[in-house]
A = this chain, B = another copy of it.
Amino acid sequence: MNLKKQPVCDCHVIHEDIVERVRATMPKGKDFYDLSNLYKMFSDHTRVRILWALSCEDMCVCDLAVLLDMTKSAISHQLKSLRLANLVKYEKQGKVIYYSLADSHVKDIFEKGFEHIHE
């Protein structure tokens, strides 16, 4: 324990000043871990369409399966990931479970993304 990791970088620093300035303001590792996990939820064709659909209306697994022409199982697996990432929540009403967006950030993220891809 308490072992210092061996550096793996295979070169010498060229601009020590730049590296130090950037390092000084760098968020902690966990932030980048959380951030990349958040965007991972938007990085899949299926998930991004699910999120977009839920940004229009609350929907159940069957509706999403019909809309996206996929099996209920595939949709359910992805909804589980989205649930664990706190991007969607659900409400049970009898046999049917209605999924919805967990908060408003999802719409903001969509907006920025569409802005970029539309030049």
Contact = CB atoms under 8 A, between A and B. Distances in A.
Interface of A: 5, 7-15, 18-19, 21-23, 25-27, 31-40, 42-45, 47-49, 52-53, 56-57, 59-60, 62-63, 65-67, 69-73, 96, 103, 105, 108-110, 112-117
Nearest to A30: B117
A37 to B, nearest CB: 8
Given A8-B69, A10-B72, 12 more contacts: A9-B65, A10-B65, A12-B62, A13-B66, A19-B66, A22-B67, A25-B56, A26-B49, A38-B117, A39-B39, A109-B116, A112-B112
A44 B108 CA distance: 21
A27 B23 CA distance: 40
Interface centre among A42, A56, A66 (most CB of B within 10 A): A66
Give the secondary structure class of A's interface.
helix
B27 A52 contact: yes
A12 to B, nearest CB: 7
A21 B66 CA distance: 13
A60 to B, nearest CB: 6
A63 B21 contact: no
